[in-house]
Structures are given as structure tokens and as C-alpha cells.
């Protein structure tokens, strides 16, 4: 589908509306369906983009560009795969292209490392939810996590965010990054090992809070994508 001026505005889809139905409606030019797809995908795409590029601003631009690519070429999408899987691949490619244009990028290696290196699990002390300082601590933890994770090399940062922040399976990560699953497990182990010393003493929350993309930022992304489609 080539974007057509004046996308149709209809009632907002229900949160339970199936992804496939939203895609069908988006192909028919329903702005509400496009906005709902954007709302659902924003957190995951932003975290994936942020796992590759080095700033929030760059990640946000990658996400916007990915949406524009996807919605202006929706006719090339085949329902054999999920829309979310398709647009994740677009976002990964877009982010990598942006990184290459900024500086030479080290290639993602596929060297298989020892299996026993994949068995470590990062333990988080003090995860009890009834701690009085939990609310304040969670805000402080998010800042700590974002700062610490942002310092990981990109080949470790991206799979780590996909696994810990987005709860994607090792097999799905391997498929999206064209890696051996054992390599993914090894990189997850290496990322956790780098983070362990800093985080074990201070964490009281989880990784689901890092690199959020919701609220006004989420709504603003939908506005910009729809405006861009209408200009196409």
C-alpha cells in the first residue's frame, strides 16, 4: 500500500482487537488502526532501536522511520508472519543502517562459546514489593539501569534488552538477529556478568522499567507517523 492522503478516522479499536484485524484495517486506510498498532509496538521497537543506537533521540527517529517504511509498504507484508515480527526486522535494519552511516560498525560475530557460559542467571536482591521505599527506589533504579545498560557494547545490549525488557525468547532473538541461539545465550551471559557487580548491590526492581516509551511520547509518535503518511 502506498500511503494515501487523508487517512480515514474511525472509532478507536478495542485493546483486544487482533493484530491481523488491525493490519487489515490499516491497509484500508483507517487511521485509528494505524495508531493502535503504533501504540502497541512503541515500547518494543524503541527498546530494540535503543539496543543498537546510542541515544534516545536516535532511537526515536529510528522508530518513526520504521513506521513510515512499514505503513507505506504495507502491501508487501504477507500474513504468513506476524506484523510485529515484520516491523521488528524493519526497525533492526533501520537502526543498523543509521549506525553505519554515523561510524564504522563492528560486525555481529557468530562465534560459538562454551555452553556452560549460558547458564548464569542474574539474581536481583530485595525484590520484595512491600518495601516502603519501593516507589522512590524504582524511579532511581530505572535511571541506574538505563545508564548501566547503555554502556554495554551494542552486540550485548541489543539481545539483553530484547530478552530482559521485552521478554523475547532466545529462539526469537536468534531469528531476528540472524544468530545461533547458543551465541545469543552467550551474549546474554556476558551482558549479565558485566552488569552484576554494579546492579546486585542496588537493584530493587526489574528491567521492565528501562527505556520506556509511553504517555505523551507514544501519542506524539503516532501523530508524527500519521502526518508523515498523509504527506507521502
Q: Per the domain annotation, does 205 fall within a domain? A: yes
Instruction: Clarify whether residues 154 and 202 are in a common domain.
Output: yes
Instruction: Clarify whether residues 62 and 130 are in a common domain.
Output: no
More confident residue, 218 or 169: 169
Q: Per the domain annotation, does 202 fall within a domain? A: yes
Q: Per the domain annotation, does 7 fall within a domain? A: no
Query: Domain range holding 174?
Result: 115-209
pLDDT in tens, 38-67: 999 999 999 999 999 988 899 999 999 999
pLDDT at 213: 82
Instruction: Clarify whether residues 151 and 204 are in a common domain.
Output: yes
Q: Do 23 and 86 meet the contact criterion of CB atoms below 8 Å apart?
A: no
Q: Do 52 and 148 meet the contact criterion of CB atoms below 8 Å apart?
A: no
Instruction: Clarify whether residues 161 and 218 are in a common domain.
Output: no
pLDDT in tens, 193-222: 888 866 665 555 456 666 778 778 888 899
**Could you tell me the CATH number of the domain that includes residue 167?**
1.10.10.10
Long-range contacts of 85-91 (CB under 8 A, 24+ apart): 85/176, 87/41, 87/45, 88/44, 88/45, 88/48, 88/176, 89/176, 90/66, 91/45, 91/48, 91/49, 91/62, 91/63, 91/66
Q: Per the domain annotation, does 226 fall within a domain? A: yes
Instruction: Clarify whether residues 120 and 205 are in a common domain.
Output: yes
Instruction: Specify the pTM.
Output: 0.66
Q: Per the domain annotation, does 14 fall within a domain? A: no
Task: Please determine, for residue 180, whether its predicted confidence score (pLDDT) is greater than 80.
Answer: yes
What's the pLDDT band for 79 if we cut at 50, 70, 90?
A: confident
Q: Per the domain annotation, does 47 fall within a domain? A: yes
End-to-end CA distance of the chain: 12
Alpha-carbon span 63 to 228, nearest angstrom: 13
Query: Which range, 11-15, 97-101, 174-178, 213-217, has the best average confidence (pLDDT)?
Result: 174-178
Q: Per the domain annotation, does 2 fall within a domain? A: no
Instruction: Clarify whether residues 182 and 142 are in a common domain.
Output: yes
Q: Per the domain annotation, does 156 fall within a domain? A: yes
Number of domains in the chain: 2
Amino acid at each position: 500500500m502506498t500511503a494515501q492522503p487523508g487517512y480515514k478516522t474511525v472509532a478507536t479499536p478495542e485493546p483486544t482487537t487482533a493484530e491481523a484485524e488491525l493490519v487489515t484495517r490499516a491497509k484500508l486506510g483507517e487511521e485509528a488502526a494505524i495508531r493502535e498498532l503504533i501504540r502497541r509496538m512503541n515500547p518494543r521497537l524503541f527498546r530494540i532501536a535503543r539496543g543498537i543506537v546510542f541515544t534516545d533521540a536516535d532511537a526515536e527517529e529510528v522508530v518513526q522511520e520504521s513506521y513510515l517504511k512499514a505503513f507505506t509498504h504495507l502491501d508487501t507484508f504477507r500474513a504468513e508472519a506476524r506484523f510485529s515480527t515484520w516491523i521488528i526486522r524493519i526497525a533492526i535494519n533501520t537502526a543498523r543502517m543509521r549506525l553505519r552511516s554515523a561510524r564504522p560498525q563492528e560486525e555481529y560475530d557468530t562465534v560459538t562459546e562454551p555452553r556452560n557460559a549460558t547458564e548464569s542467571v542474574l539474581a536481583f536482591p530485595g525484590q520484595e514489593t512491600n518495601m516502603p521505599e519501593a516507589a522512590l527506589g524504582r524511579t532511581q533504579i530505572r535511571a541506574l539501569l538505563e545508564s548501566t545498560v547503555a554502556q554495554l557494547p551494542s552486540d550485548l545490549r541489543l539481545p539483553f534488552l530484547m530478552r530482559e525488557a521485552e521478554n523475547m525468547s532466545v529462539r526469537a532473538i536468534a531469528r531476528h538477529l540472524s544468530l545461533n541461539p547458543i551465541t545469543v545465550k552467550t551474549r546474554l551471559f556476558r551482558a549479565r556478568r558485566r552488569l552484576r557487580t554494579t546492579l546486585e548491590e542496588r537493584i530493587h526492581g526489574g528491567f521492565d522499567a528501562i527505556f520506556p516509551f509511553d504517555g505523551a511520547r507514544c501519542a506524539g509518535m503516532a501523530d508524527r507517523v500519521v502526518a508523515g503518511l498523509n504527506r507521502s
